[in-house]
Structure 1
């Protein structure tokens, strides 16, 4: 069996004197390692035959990490917002939950692009320590969602190419 080598960056924490976590921000902080564990388990399975008995424990681990992630997201999404800096964290958790539940590649791509399309919705304004800490958590979540999007189980490149419009099939209107 291979040695365990984490490939995601651990969450950087600030001293408690500058940041007093709310229940939502504490759960979001706890969510990031769970999301990383799921990504690593799925990445392990990306290049092996899932039904080979030698890798059956890896499949079980991936299913367990997915269930843990879904449970953590459900608890987080039900947590009450106590300050305005909690709102982007809650939106990111809801976006992650929707991405995990998406049925096709186009929906997944659309959801994955929302933070770039609406950056103010997924960021905190201001330069105070709470906003800085929240933005740090959100940037860690962004990087993990990018890693999630690189997994073939969530975004199959063949499916994306099949659903993309072909230039020959597009009807261009004449210029006026």
Structure 2
């Protein structure tokens, strides 16, 4: 039985085939290792630290949402980016269209894909029912404006809205 020789003139031996197979798998394993390292390094982490605790708090969230809906507040927010700063203006009115004053309002600009890029917004009441604040180092792009208002230690309002900042 004759061994076929490739065009280069060298015979294809079992040793060369073994070297090709080992080299192929070394490349595949090396690329997989690099991809795993990059995926783990860029992983933003968990969204919820404890799914069990989050599920226990779910009924409380439903109750809070129903109480918020029964108040029938109208809350308008405006976000404007100037340079690397973003300014937020929030106006809160009750069901009778009177300004809602005396709230402890917190806000944050959150990236929908990565919690590590969230930016807190320092909010203060600047007029009756008008709350303003600024966030630093806010690049352009898609953000979620998360507004929370408390009165007497209880959360009375929660809102999440998508905004695009040019």
- How high is the TM-score relative to the length of structure 2? 0.26
> Which protein has greater RCO, CA pairs closer than 8 Å, 6+ apart?
1
- Larger fraction in strand: 2
- How high is the TM-score relative to the length of structure 1? 0.25
- Larger fraction in helix: 1
